[in-house]
A and B are shown apart, each in its own frame.
Chain A
Amino acid sequence: MRSDFTDFLRAVRGPLGAIALTMALGFLLVASISDEPVLAYRELLFANFDSLSNFALFLNRATPLVLIAVGITFAFRAGVFNVGGEGQLFAGAIATTVFSIVFSGLPAIVLFPLAIAAGILGGALLGWIPGVLKVRLGVDEVVVTFMLNTIALLFTSYLVNQVIRDTTAYGAVSWMVPEKIWLPTIPGIPGATSGFIIAAVLSLASWVVLFRTKWGAEVRAAGTNLRYAEAVGIAAGGRVIWAMLIAGGFAGLAGALYVLGIGHRFEQNFSPEYGLVALTCALLARIHPAAALFTSLYYAMMLNGAAYMQISTEVPRSLVDLLTGLLVLLMTARFTLRRRSGQTSGAF
């Protein structure tokens, strides 16, 4: 048990160090362009916790990130470089919206689960396509997932502008989904979607599935060495496709929960590139579903904090993009250092 804990410490030491260094370097930057660097940093880091409503917005921001990032860990562990989180998110959101509007007459107890299922299936479909193409035909998944992002974005844009547009509202938004199937808020935190609880639970459940079941071991075997997986009798192709269904399903669920819990309708620009940010979260978490929960929370804090910072001081919110870049840089730099020292010790 104690060795489990030291393993854990060793695993988080690197990312935490990189985060700390990034924040320190960021502070120097802010200090060089702002008269009130301390205030700017306070807003960036702590404004999220100033009020319950800020905290609710923070959780709402984190929810899709957590779900997509956890889904991506399944894909990556199966060896699929899935960059299609954004498209899968949109597919899930539009599927839930369309289903809820079309079948709005159904009783809530029936409509609610079906609407969620529609979202999951919508995302899963977009994950299934690159998965099956990769396994059966060897098509590169990066290209396919990336292209599907564009297809999903443009197709949903068409739907929301031409088919299900709320003609009484300003902007490209759909009709509202029926209020009877809106997700409740978290008790005690007005405005915070209970979708976050679902996301947090699923992140921990995914940890168990990936690392404590035979199925999870088989997915990782297929991802680390497909030919080995085949040789020990794993239906490796099937595992890869299932991992992509799950990755897509998670992103689709993120879309469904956004529509039912936060937006209550499909908005064309509801996503500040959640799919891409979640990819960073998953990589920062070293492709571990439980760690992805925390990196997603960190990113949500930074995204929202940047807005508060820009309001209170003259520091532009694009600082966050810069910090993100720095963080990625420092994470990779650490990897290289480790590899080089490994080489010297491997010389004899």
Chain B
Amino acid sequence: MTTDENILVLKGIAKRFGDKVALEHVDLQVRRGEVHVLCGENGAGKSTLMNILVGIHSPDGGQIILDGKGVTIADPLIASALGIGMVHQHFTLVPSMSVAENLFLGRHIRRYGIFSDRRAMNERARELIDNYKFALDPEARVSTLSVGQRQRVEILKALAFEAKLLILDEPTAVLTPPEVDELLKVIASLRERGRTVVFITHKLREVKAVSDRVTVLRQGRSISTHITTDVSEEDIARDMVGRDVFLTGREGQPERSFGGAVLELDNVTITNSAGRLILDSIDLEVRAGEVLGIAGVDGNGQTELAEAIAGLMPIQAGSIRLAGDDITADTVAERQAAGLGFVPEDRLDRGLSSDMSIAENMAATNYERYGVLRKGYVDRGRLNAFTEDGIKRFDIRGAKPKIPVGTLSGGNMQKVVLAREFARDPKVLLISQPTRGLDIGASEFVYSQVLSAADKGNGVLLISSELSEIFALSDRIAVIYSGRIMQVLERNEADEETVGILMNGGKRQVA
């Protein structure tokens, strides 16, 4: 046992893939027993750096010092022998096997050297689970677990290897807000037990909530390392992006005035095939120039609400009016022609066809409006001009009209969806989870687009499970829980606590 206070020191790590530089020069010092956050925008090199630590890539230059000794990590087996455990963003569990079987995958406890000793494995798994106070059943099949529970299995798997250093690669990207809170508690308890945790994220709230120190990466370089309590979220964001960022939205701005209702939902009700109420008589009204935010934990009817308004899901009762006209019976195309813009929650599911070109994705709802068609044929020149214009206005990086949209990064894909929907200047913009998976720079851009749509006098219905986003953008906040609108609050009378209670179904306490 060394007494060195740093468990891991990286000096001048560099890595290039072909002629693309992924890491230019990274220095990192992780102290024993701390939670160290590594943050940076998408493409800053966080994942490459961690892949070097676990032996997936080997560095082109620099030094890795673990426990005071220089080491070469040639493959993942060496990494785990050295006590480095990693929980990947995408899980590596076998869904059809039990929790215990997954924990001991590849190193089953054997009886007589041949047979898997299921009982011993379950017992050992239960010890581990109890030891770390994870709420898990060792005999449950992984396929029956929630995403948050699966992640805990992944963490246990790394801990079962006696990992001294646990690396979590963007662990919250796949979690709902309550699950994030659970995870943060788990990390805090690991720190109490003296484990060292490196936590990769680009969400500033988590940085502040979880870490002792924070190192910021930008474009393959380590920019700064701070003690978390000494820096503000703004400072970290500036280091990440390289300039001042404004994710503050409308906070502090004067009262805004609105026009008449442009979207009205009256008693909108959806029941599923089993007869269960998915949406329970929803009444909502979005006025011209207003952003109405729908806050709620995922899975409380937000998806169905968006699909019902977009015309993708039939409603059993109620009516929907757009700019005064009843669109309840209209098709998707008719609603769009009437002035509805729709940014779906999952860009790869409903938002884009990743195999088709950027031009065709961007033009999909705009052929007639922008004169892309000439005598029924697609005029390639005009299609390209239309697309180039969108690429420029929305600053879509790495984009050319003809390349498949699936080759872009998540943020740039989202910009393609926005470019398509904004091109029609919709009277009502229905936008779901607009910044999911996006880094700060891209989120800032999306925010500004949403706000400018409202400033132009259009109505915006914003559905998001990120509370900070709801608060930054909304003029009014409606909270959805279990298919019902709990309450609609003016922005100035809403606070995170009130909305949080409503999101969990609690009635607002009258003081």
Question: A residues within 8 Å of B by Cβ?
Answer: 7, 208, 212-214, 217, 220-221, 224-225, 227-235, 344-345, 347-348
Contact = CB atoms under 8 A, between A and B. Distances in A.
B493 interface: no
B157 to A, nearest CB: 23
Contact of B349 (A217, A227, A234): A227
B344 A348 contact: no
A272 to B, nearest CB: 34
Contacts of A213: 376-378
- Size class of the contact patch on chain B: 35 or more
Contacts of B367: 214
Contacts of A229: 353
Given A214-B378, A347-B48, A348-B43, A233 B333 contact: yes
Interface string B3-39: 0000000000000011010100000000000000000
A345 B310 contact: no
Contacts of B420: 232
Nearest to A342: B407
A221 B360 contact: yes
B349 A228 contact: yes
Nearest to A217: B360
A348 B45 contact: yes
Contacts of B331: 233, 235
B344 A231 contact: yes
B312 interface: yes
A348 B332 contact: no
Contacts of A347: 17, 48, 51, 57
Nearest to B47: A348
A348 B17 contact: yes
B336 interface: yes
Q: Which secondary structure dominates chain A's binding surface?
A: helix
A208 B380 CA distance: 12
B378 A348 contact: no
Nearest to B312: A230
B457 interface: no
Interface string B344-365: 1000011111111000100111
9 contacts: A212-B378, A217-B363, A224-B353, A225-B354, A225-B355, A230-B332, A345-B17, A347-B51, A348-B22
A348 B20 contact: yes
Contacts of A221: 353, 356, 360, 364
Interface in B464-487: none
B342 interface: yes
B371 to A, nearest CB: 12
Contacts of A234: 333, 364
A228 B420 CA distance: 13
A227 B17 contact: no
B333 A224 contact: no
A212 B377 contact: yes
B343 to A, nearest CB: 10
A225 B353 contact: yes
A140 B18 CA distance: 44
B373 interface: yes
Interface string B246-284: 000000000000000000000000000000000000000
A170 B193 CA distance: 91
Contacts of B334: 233
B355 A224 contact: yes
A232 B354 contact: no
Given A212-B377, A220-B356, A228 B20 contact: no
A268 to B, nearest CB: 41
A208 B379 CA distance: 12
A228 B377 contact: no
Contacts of B344: 231
Nearest to B347: A228
Contact of A231 (B310, B356, B378): B310
A46 to B, nearest CB: 38
A213 B310 CA distance: 25
A235 B363 CA distance: 16
Report the 6 A-B pairs with minimum CB-CB distance, sorted nearest first: A233-B333, A231-B350, A225-B353, A348-B22, A233-B332, A232-B364
Contacts of B355: 224-225
Nearest to B359: A217
Given A212-B380, A233-B331, A234-B333, 8 more contacts: A208-B377, A221-B353, A230-B312, A231-B350, A232-B364, A233-B336, A345-B17, A347-B48
B17 A230 contact: no
Counting chain A CB atoms within 10 Å of each CB, the highest count among B47, B332, B334, B376 belongs to B332
